[in-house]
Amino acid sequence: MTQTPTAALPRFIARINLRDAGTFFGLILIFAVFAVLNPVFLTSPNLINILQQSSINACIALGMTFVIISGGIDLSVGPAAAISAVVGATLMVAGVPIPLAVIGAIMTGMACGLFSGTLIAVAGLQPFIVTLGGLSLYRALSLIFTGGNPIFGIPPEFRQAINGLVFGVPVPVIIVTIIAVTLWVVLNRTPLGEYILAVGGNPEAARIAGVPVVRTKITVYVLSGGLAAVAALILTGRLGAADPTMGNLWELDAIAAAAIGGASLMGGKGSVVGTIMGAVILGGLRNGLTLMNVQAFYQLLATGIIIIVAMLIDRATRGKA
Amino acid sequence: MTNSASRLSLVGVTKEFPGIRALDDVSFDVRPGEVHGLLGENGAGKSTMLNILSAVFQATAGQIIIDGQPVTLNRPADARAAGIAMIHQELQHIPQLSVAQNLFLGRPLTKAGGLLVDRRAQERRARDLLADLDPRIDPRAPIHTLKVAQQQIVEIARALLDDARIIAMDEPTSSLTPSEFESLAALIARLAGRGVSVIYVSHKMDEVFRVCDRATILRDGKFIDTVDLAQTTEDQVVARMVGRDILQETHVSHARPKPVMQVEALSDGGFIRDASFTLHQGEVLGLAGLVGSGRTELLRLIAGIDPVSSGRVTLHGTAVNLRSPRHAIRAGIGLVPEERKKDGIVRDRPVSSNIALPCMSRFTRFGLLRRRKLHAESTALMQRMGMRPPDVTRAIGTFSGGNQQKAIIGRWLAADVDILLFDEPTRGIDIGAKSEIYDLIAQLAEAGKSIIVVSSEMPEIMRLSDRVMVMREGRIAAVLDGADISETAIAAYAIPKSAATDQLTPSMEAQQ
């Protein structure tokens, strides 16, 4: 009576996450519709284009996914990206070797995360409010530091590295792929991953079971800040400038990608693969609508509909399971 | 079965879920003014039956007859209209609103042609209603300021407001003190005296025998029997519930003379003061006392969960750092908490992950989790402990309370702690699994673990403990050993002087 059908299936099928399969189905459906409507959509240059366009959001959304799984939220990713870009660009323009400048930018993003994470985990403040404060704070700092002007004069070597191709694949896509694989391993195959899922699922039970709750929470915000810096570096390389207004509303795209991919804002649930697919769904949607010359207003409309439909399907399928 | 003298008749009620028949052709009847127990192990079908009566589920087949009239219960409103009210285990109200507001929630008394809520009329009506039940409850007080027992009374008042003829109570005493239970028992007797029929679901046999007139026993979704409790013994009822005899095990001590843990003048800066005692190897120390006497709080201090203000705990002669549960666990102390859902399990995670949380390093190599080792070890552990089914990849939340408890105990075996603290280890666990938990605790003691068991159930304390420590108002009142252990001795130390009178009043009320 309690025998589940999964036990009889081959292991690899049983191990596929049902929710991820649902996201994948949605992805295929949306891509199929565009493929029918526009012959250019499903060509490999365009698909690579979609991946490239999605990579920045995917990078931010991966950090966001970890924060959301831990039961929190990080609204400060956009400004954290901006301040990281400003620091990195300033270092590069000042003649600091590029690798050191990159490290400086990433450390800046991580410092932003450490700040939020400490306030949340140690002082016990609410993640929404703390990172809302961080959103204003980091934006203000980068505007004050630059006087509101973009920093130009990014070294061409850095720009070439970011805009280059490896085996025909854009460098940002490769960077984000490496990050995604690493984070998949972290979430599914390390103690930290178990801790994050436990802290998000039931913080008090996790604490009583000996999980280092404070350290785990701080880690996810530091990760989110660091990934915001990586996204900022990619955009700086592509634009050839570091804009202190960079990253406006990035947090919303990232939350959307994570939610479409199955992350629960209640904490304890989320998937790296799902979030990547969520980012590609959003990227593919924008790309497809642009190809069909649909006004930007309608693109926003479509994004909103997709998010809400995804949540409805999520609720309907979870209710049954 | 059906006769005109029945308030409620269930005829051939069946409920099927995909792949499972939760209720199979169940028929019984409840008389007017009768308190009718509904008994069975977890999964026997009690909850399904209550859910059908409150129209949360619809029966697949069968008939429900109230006062001779067949009723169709499709929506919760139908159940209310038919005169059925449910008092849930987890009380349902809005904490910030007042007693009166909660009573009239969803059906306010209005003035100005229905535009405005007539608060004064609601409060007057509430006061009239509560005067009968518990006059100490102020209709204007926010409901969260009331004790759980009083909140329950408000819930009952709400049922009376609906003119309920049948009130079903699901584990109503799970968070009540013994004296509050006495008040509730008296109240139930008064309700029955007014002709209200009460369906009483509880795991606690002594309560059922104290409160109910007759009881219907379910097992595996099937009707087993309706018994007259005046002519039945507890053992007979339990045997029918589990379908076999539960052996009354006698207590065997595995305590060795070697002291393992020393608690010295432990205080939390408020309630818990100067707790000192010694725990020996292989010993089971029962921790008795009234609910609210500080037993849980003391365990939480020793487990590093709440901050210690003064005093210390030494383990094998070394002082334990009690800064966090993580530190206490590293020293070798693990807690099996009372509220499993809140403090024990991470519901959506697999059993294996729940087991591994305190001892992740044992299952890690080069920074990576060794999933296969974790799976193999936790499966072996759960098979040994009799988890059913022993599938550790399933989310722990899908298992019954008893199985969840086995996983939490398994967690501390995997972490290999020396000291196990159990807080109400069998709360919400059915009788079959209960005796398995008892056996486990005895086995752990035999294996040399030292154990403290907090329990409000006297038979549990008597059966498990080598020594019994009694707490009263945040202090250790006595430690009883050997022949000194008796229910009367424990009760004498547990009841504070001031509360002794409080204890008596409700039972006197009951006799009136």
Over A221-287, what HEC string results?
A: HHHHHHHHHHHHHHHHHHHCCECCCCCCCHHHHHHHHHHHCCCCCCCCCCCHHHHHHHHHHHHHHHH
Distance from CA of A3 to the nearest CA of B (A): 8
Closest chain A CA to residue B366: A190
Q: B369: distance to nearest CA of chain A, Å?
A: 5
Determine the residue of chain B that is closest to A209 in CA distance: B358
Contacts of B326 in chain A (CB under 8 A): 210-212
Q: Do A205 and B19 touch (CB under 8 A)?
A: no
Distance of CA A235 to the CA centre of its chain: 14
- The per-residue pLDDT for B246 is 53
Separation CA B295–CA A61 (nearest Å) = 46
Taking an 8 Å cut-off on Cβ atoms, the answer to whether A193 and B369 are in contact is yes
Task: Kindly report, residue by residue over B422-452, the tens digit of the pLDDT.
Answer: 999 988 787 778 888 998 999 999 999 999 9
Q: Do A198 and B326 touch (CB under 8 A)?
A: no
Residue in A2, A202, A206 nearest the CB of B389: A2
Q: What is the pLDDT of residue B40?
A: 84
Window 389-408 of B: residues touching A by CB (8 A cutoff) are: 389, 391, 394
CB contacts of A201 in chain B (<8 Å) are 346-349
Q: Most A CBs within 10 Å: which of B333, B338, B360, as the mutation test of the A interface?
A: B360
Task: Indicate the average pLDDT of chain B.
Answer: 87
With an 8 Å Cβ cutoff, are B346 and A185 in contact?
Answer: no
The answer to whether A257 contacts chain B (CB < 8 Å) is: no
Tens digit of each residue's pLDDT (9 = 90 or more) over A88-146:
999 999 999 999 999 999 999 999 999 999 999 999 999 999 999 999 999 999 999 99
Angle among Cα A282, A283, A285 to the nearest 5 degrees reads 65
**Rounded average pLDDT over B35-64:** 87
Which phi and psi angles does A238 have, rounded to 5°? Answer: -70, -40
CB atoms within 10 A of CB A12: 7
B52 shares contact with chain A (CB less than 8 Å): no
Query: Which of B348, B351, B405, B422 is the best residue to mutate to test the A interface, defined by the most A CB atoms within 10 Å of its own CB?
Result: B348
Q: Distance (Å) from the C-alpha of residue B474 to the closest C-alpha of chain A? A: 22
Is any Cβ of chain A less than 8 angstroms from the Cβ of B106? no
- Residues in chain A, pLDDT under 70: 1-16, 317-321
Task: Look at residue B56 and tell me whether its pLDDT is greater than 90.
Answer: no
Query: Which pLDDT value is given to residue A254?
Result: 96
pLDDT, tens only, B181-236 = 888 898 899 999 989 999 999 878 888 999 999 999 998 888 999 999 999 888 88
Q: Give the residue on A whose Cα is nearest the Cα of B338.
A: A205
For B369, the closest of A191, A210, A269 (CB atoms) is A191
Contact B368 A201 (CB under 8 A): no
Contact with chain B for residue A319, Cβ under 8 A: no
Q: Does the beta carbon of A206 lie under 8 angstroms from any beta carbon of chain B? A: yes
| Tokens describing residue B20 | 């499972």
Residue of B nearest to A267 (CA): B348
What is each CA distance from A154 to A53, A86, A159, in whole angstroms? 21, 11, 7
Q: Look at residue B58 and give its three-state secondary structure.
A: coil
- In the beta sheet, which residues pair with residue B109? none
Tell me which H or E stretch contains A179: helix A171-189
pLDDT number for residue B261: 96
Is the CB of A205 inside 8 Å of chain B's CB atoms? yes
Residue B416 three-state SS: coil
Q: What is the mean pLDDT of residues B398-424?
A: 93
Q: What is this structure's pTM?
A: 0.78
pLDDT class of B268 with cuts at 50, 70, 90 = very high
Can you give the length of chain A in residues?
321
Among residues 58-97 of chain A, which lie with CB inside 8 Å of chain B? none
**Band of pLDDT at residue B505, cut at 50, 70 and 90:** very low
Window 5-34 of B: residues touching A by CB (8 A cutoff) are: 19-20
B358 close to A (CB below 8 A):
yes
pLDDT at B497: 63
CB contact under 8 A, A193 and B415: no
Mean pLDDT of B10-39: 89
Q: How many Å apart are CA B61 and CA B23, to the nearest integer?
A: 10
Report the C-alpha gap between B172 and B328 in whole angstroms. Answer: 35
Residue B244 contacts residue B232 (beta carbons within 8 Å): no
Instruction: Please check whether residue A187 touches B, CB under 8 A.
Output: no
What's the pLDDT at A306? 87
The yes/no answer to whether this complex scores an ipTM above 0.90 is: no
For residues B52 and B15, the answer to whether their CB atoms sit within 8 Å is yes
DSSP string spanning B341-370? IIII--TTSBHHHHHHGGGGGGGEETTEE-
Q: In percent, how much of chain B has pLDDT > 90?
A: 48
Mutate to test the interface with B, among A2, A208, A213, A269 (most CBs of B within 10 A): A208
Query: Which of B321, B330, B369, B394 to substitute to test the interface with A, most A CBs within 10 Å?
Result: B369
pLDDT of amino acid B76: 85
CB distance A1–B349 less than 8 Å? no
Checking if the pLDDT of B502 tops 70, the result is no
The pLDDT value given to residue B503 = 44
Q: How many angstroms separate the CA atoms of B123 and A230, rounded?
A: 61
What local confidence, expressed as pLDDT, does residue B328 receive? 96
Nearest-by-CA chain A residue for B368:
A190
Inter-chain contact B335–A208, Cβ cutoff 8 Å? Answer: yes
Q: What's residue A317's pLDDT?
A: 67
CA dist B39 → B66, B173, B228, B431 (Å): 21, 15, 13, 11
The angle that helices A171-189 and A272-291 make with each other, rounded to 10 degrees, is 150
Distance (Å, rounded) from C-alpha B429 to C-alpha B204? 10
- Tokens standing for residue B276: 């000192």
- Please choose, from the candidates B511, B422, B413, B405, the residue with its C-alpha nearest in 3D space to the C-alpha of residue B465: B422
For range B1-24, the mean pLDDT: 79
What distance in Å separates the CA atoms of residue B54 and residue B70, rounded to the nearest whole number?
15
- The per-residue pLDDT for B115 is 80
pLDDT at B509 over 60: no
Q: How far apart are CA B33 and CA B55, in angstroms?
A: 22
Interface A:B, Cβ pairs < 8 A: 85
- Considering only residues B318 and B40, tell me which one the structure prediction assigns the higher pLDDT: B318
Backbone angles phi, psi at B89, to 5 degrees: -60, -45
A1 CB neighbours in chain B (<8 A) are 19-20
What pLDDT band is residue B495 in, cutting at 50, 70 and 90? confident
Predicted confidence at residue A11, as pLDDT, reads 53
Contact B345 A205 (CB under 8 A): yes
Residue B57: its pLDDT value, please?
87
Quick one: pLDDT at residue B244?
60
Cβ <8 Å between B349 and A190 = no
Q: Given CB atoms, is B369 within the 8 Å cutoff of chain A?
A: yes
Provide the residue type at B29 as one letter: D
Separation in Å, CA of A254 to nearest CA in chain B: 24
* A208 interfaces chain B, CB cutoff of 8 Å: yes
Q: From the CB of residue A147, how many other CB atoms can be counted at a distance below 10 Å?
A: 7
Select from B466, B463, B469 the least CA-distant residue to B490. Answer: B469
- Which chain B residues touch A202 with a CB distance below 8 Å? 342, 345-347
Whether the per-residue pLDDT at B499 is higher than 70: the answer is no
Residue A59 distance to chain B (closest CA, Å): 23
A252 vs A60, A66, A86, A307, B80, CA distance in Å? 10, 15, 22, 11, 44
Residues B340, A315: Cα–Cα separation, whole Å: 26
Question: Does the pLDDT of residue B504 top 50, yes or no?
Answer: no
